[in-house]
């Protein structure tokens, strides 16, 4: 009788252990599947970057991702000329830098009353602004082109700057308003008590405290403008005014001939200003508002 009960007792004691191992094995399989998905996504981003770096140093670059037989800097020597690189990069810096500064200033001035003065019209206005960001750029370029011709802004740097700023302003207002909501209003009220105006409190208190937000809006606006091909291609006609986002099309020759090595080298040089901008303001991007004790006492 005892011999028949022993196996049953053993089976009962092993059952909870087996049930504990089953969820653990499922979690392991799920974690491995997630890691495999992340590695696949990382490979999808790394492979194009690897092609750009390797092809820029390859004298016989092609569409294949391969280690070059011999490292050379001839591709950089071929593109580092005023006509190919320096003038288009300068035009891009003027266009994107001016439009970014105008966007940040206008977004701050528009977001301040939306954040500090509640109204029933704030939400409909913000929803309208959000709707404006969903309009495809190709749908509005025809009337914009006709308008620019009438007001003599076609083929001008200032006209392109205005349109760049107008196209990025809706989303910039949303971002700036959300960051501005995190600054306590009590700090401004203290400044108003000391005789400061609303503009002075915005410039001396709100904007310095929301430095990370201003940095985010600046980087986002600059990057979106820096890679825009369609707008300057439509609004600028003179080759000497074309930015680098348009001049990169010159590396695609006729009959399918492409200078892959020079294209990769130009891509590296073209990406440098964006990388430098991020590095310069990375400290502000990583910082917080740190306003937890600002209104205590």
DSSP output for 182-206:
TS-HHHHHHHHHTT--HHHHIIIII
Q: Which residues contact 185 (CB under 8 A, 6 or more apart)?
A: 116
Q: Give 126-166 pLDDT, tens digit per residue.
A: 888 778 777 788 888 888 999 999 999 999 999 999 999 99
pLDDT band of residue 100 (cuts 50, 70, 90) is very high
Question: Closest Cα to residue 285, out of 194, 234, 223, 243?
Answer: 223
| Residue 290 confidence (pLDDT) above 80 | no
Q: Give 181-198 pLDDT, tens digit per residue.
A: 888 888 888 888 878 888
- Give the count of beta carbons closer than 10 Å to the beta carbon of residue 212: 18
pLDDT of residue 5: 47
| Residue 6 confidence (pLDDT) above 60 | no
64 DSSP assignment: S
Q: Do 168 and 225 contact (CB within 8 A), yes or no?
A: yes
Query: How far is C-alpha 44 from the chain's CA centre?
Result: 19
- CA dihedral sign, ordered 36, 37, 40, 41: negative
pLDDT of residue 291: 47
Residue range 200-204: mean pLDDT, rounded: 84
Distance from C-alpha of 33 to C-alpha of 11, rounded to nearest angstrom: 33
Q: Do 251 and 259 contact (CB within 8 A), yes or no?
A: yes
Q: Model's pTM, two decimal places?
A: 0.78
Distance from C-alpha of 192 to C-alpha of 229, rounded to nearest angstrom: 46
| Residue 88 confidence (pLDDT) above 90 | yes
Query: How far is C-alpha 94 from the chain's CA centre?
Result: 19
pLDDT of residue 109: 92
| Residue 223 confidence (pLDDT) above 80 | yes
Distance from C-alpha of 278 to C-alpha of 280, rounded to nearest angstrom: 5
pLDDT of residue 99: 95
What percentage of the chain carries pLDDT values higher than 70? 86
* Minimum mean pLDDT range among 63-72, 241-250, 288-297: 288-297
Q: Give the dihedral of Cα atoms 101, 105, 108, 110; nearest 10 deg.
A: -120
What percentage of the chain carries pLDDT values higher than 90? 27
Q: Give 274-288 pLDDT, tens digit per residue.
A: 888 888 877 656 544
More confident residue, 233 or 18: 233
Distance from C-alpha of 264 to C-alpha of 273, rounded to nearest angstrom: 16
Task: Find residue 258's DSSP bridge partners.
Answer: 252
More confident residue, 191 or 95: 95
pLDDT of residue 209: 86
pLDDT band of residue 16 (cuts 50, 70, 90) is low
pLDDT of residue 292: 42
Distance from C-alpha of 176 to C-alpha of 52, rounded to nearest angstrom: 35
Query: Structure tokens of 162?
Result: 């205005």
Residue range 232-238: mean pLDDT, rounded: 91
Q: Exposure pattern of 9-31 as b/e (b: 16+ CB <10 Å)? A: eeeeeeeeeeeeeeeeeeeeeee
pLDDT band of residue 172 (cuts 50, 70, 90) is very high
């Amino acid at each position: 009788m005892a011999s028949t009960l022993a196996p049953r007792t053993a089976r009962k004691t092993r059952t909870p252990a087996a049930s504990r191992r089953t969820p653990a094995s499922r979690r392991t399989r799920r974690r491995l599947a997630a890691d495999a998905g992340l590695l696949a996504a990382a490979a999808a981003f790394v492979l194009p970057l690897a092609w750009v770096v390797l092809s820029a140093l390859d004298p016989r670059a092609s569409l294949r991702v391969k280690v070059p037989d011999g490292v050379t800097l001839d591709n950089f020597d071929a593109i580092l000329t005023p006509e190919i690189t320096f003038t288009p990069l300068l035009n891009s810096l003027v266009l994107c830098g001016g439009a970014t500064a105008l966007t940040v200033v206008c977004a701050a001035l528009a977001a301040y009353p939306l954040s500090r003065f509640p109204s029933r019209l704030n939400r409909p206005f913000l929803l309208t602004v959000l709707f404006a960001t969903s309009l495809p750029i190709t749908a509005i370029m025809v009337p914009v082109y006709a308008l620019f011709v009438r007001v003599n802004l076609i083929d001008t740097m200032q006209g392109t700057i205005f349109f760049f700023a107008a196209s990025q302003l809706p989303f910039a207002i949303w971002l700036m308003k959300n960051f501005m909501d995190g600054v306590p209003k009590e700090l401004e009220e203290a400044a108003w008590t000391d005789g400061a105006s609303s503009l002075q409190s915005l410039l001396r208190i709100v904007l310095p405290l929301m430095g990370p937000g201003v940095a985010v809006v600046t980087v986002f606006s600059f990057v979106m403008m820096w890679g825009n091909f369609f707008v300057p291609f439509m609004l600028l006609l003179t080759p000497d005014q074309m930015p680098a986002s348009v001049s990169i099309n010159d590396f695609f020759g006729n009959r399918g001939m492409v200078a892959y090595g020079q294209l990769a080298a130009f891509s590296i040089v073209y990406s440098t200003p964006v990388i430098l901008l991020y590095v310069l303001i990375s400290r502000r991007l990583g910082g917080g508002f740190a306003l937890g004790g600002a209104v205590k006492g």
